[in-house]
Amino acid sequence: MKNSLRCLATLAAAMIASSAMAADLTLLCAGAMKAPISALLAKRDASQPKVVATYATAGEIRDRLAKGERPDVVIAPSEDVFQLMKKNEIEVTSRRALGETEVGVAVKAGAPIPNISTPDALRATLLAARKVVIVDPAKGTSGRLVESLFKELKINDAMQPKLLKVDGGNVVEAVARGQADLGLQQISEILPVAGVKLVGPLPGDLQRLTRYDMAMLSKPAHRVEAESLVRDLSSREAHAVIEKNGFMTAR
């Protein structure tokens, strides 16, 4: 009898654990929004469904979705969310603009601050650098934007031997380690990195803004919980946290 009760208790515990796991929400989020989103998720009440968040480059998000991954909620550059909308892969009414961030320039903390105040000054600073780190343009949004910047400045060929391309994450960590003199990445990904100094955003018309949107995928596994998460992450309180982490209100 005791063994039977013990088995029933074990089975019940397993069923509860399985149910809890099944209720976990999945979020696939662009790395540029990692700082504010992880901060917001950490503030969620323990009684709310757990959110399992994965942070990746825009390219990785596209690849994962193309291979059939089905998170409940996705946060990605607006152009990617728009493509998902065209394919009927998101719940259109759930789409929310979370914020825009600029591309900025970073140097190692304590290093001289270079002049990037005008296009000519930025051009000279880039050409004078020994090494410049960016995210691989094939994988990350900021890398693609920086690549177009080099072309606009007519220094693309000259910059290629200087470039250190990384797969993703906070690429300016290479600046903190002394592997590069300059790092160009979205400001939201520069600010959290210890050991670097944000010089400032790209000047004037050279600036490249990226807007990030959030949406539920069509037929989410946990609809009610996903709707609640979308409301939480697009609330006024959430926007205050997002703006403190290098974002501007999306236009």
Question: Residue 168 — very low, low, confident or very high, per pLDDT cuts 50/70/90?
Answer: confident
Q: Is the pLDDT of residue 111 over 70?
A: yes
Over range 162-171, report the average pLDDT: 90
Asked if residue 222 is part of any domain, the answer here is yes
Question: Residue 27 — very low, low, confident or very high, per pLDDT cuts 50/70/90?
Answer: very high
More confident residue, 26 or 10: 26
Average pLDDT over the chain, rounded to whole? 90
> In terms of C-beta distances under 8 Å and separation of at least 24 residues, what long-range contacts does 15-22 make, across chains too?
20/50
Q: Is the pLDDT of residue 235 over 80?
A: yes
**Shared-domain flag, residues 132 and 205:** yes
**Shared-domain flag, residues 40 and 71:** yes
Q: Is the pLDDT of residue 249 over 90?
A: no
Can you give the pTM of this predicted structure?
Answer: 0.82
**Shared-domain flag, residues 124 and 181:** yes
pLDDT at residue 198, as a whole number: 97
Distances from the Cα of 66 to the Cα of 106, 121, 136, 191, 212, angstroms = 33, 41, 20, 31, 19
**Shared-domain flag, residues 154 and 200:** yes
Average the pLDDT over each of 7-11, 93-97, 150-154, 226-230 and give the range with the smallest value.
7-11
pLDDT at residue 23, as a whole number: 59
Number of folded domains that form the chain: 2
Q: Which residues of 205-222 are buried (b: 16+ CB within 10 A; e: fewer)?
A: ebebebbbbbbbbeebeb
CATH number of the domain encompassing residue 16: 3.40.190.10
Strand bridging mode 25-30 / 51-56? parallel
**Shared-domain flag, residues 108 and 49:** no
Asked if residue 249 is part of any domain, the answer here is no
**Shared-domain flag, residues 55 and 7:** yes
pLDDT at residue 43, as a whole number: 92
pLDDT at residue 19, as a whole number: 39
Full DSSP string of the chain: -HHHHHHHHHHHHHHHHHHHHHT-EEEEEEGGGHHHHHHHHHTS-TTSPPEEEEEE-HHHHHHHHHTT---SEEEEEHHHHHHHHHTT-B-GGG-EEEEEEEEEEEEETTSPPPP-SSHHHHHHHHHH-S-EEEE-TTT-HHHHHHHHHHHHTT-HHHHGGGEEEESSS-TTHHHHTTS-SEEEEEHHHHTT-TTEEEEEEPPGGG--EEEEEEEEBSS-TTHHHHHHHHHHHTSHHHHHHHHHTT-B---
Range of the domain at 72: 2-100+211-244
- State the number of CA atoms in the 13 A half-sphere of 133 facing the CB: 24
List pLDDT tens digits, range 128-142.
Answer: 999 999 999 988 899
**Shared-domain flag, residues 201 and 218:** no
Asked if residue 250 is part of any domain, the answer here is no
**Shared-domain flag, residues 33 and 20:** yes
**Shared-domain flag, residues 112 and 189:** yes
**Shared-domain flag, residues 53 and 78:** yes
Is residue 136 within 8 A of residue 146, CB to CB? The reply is no
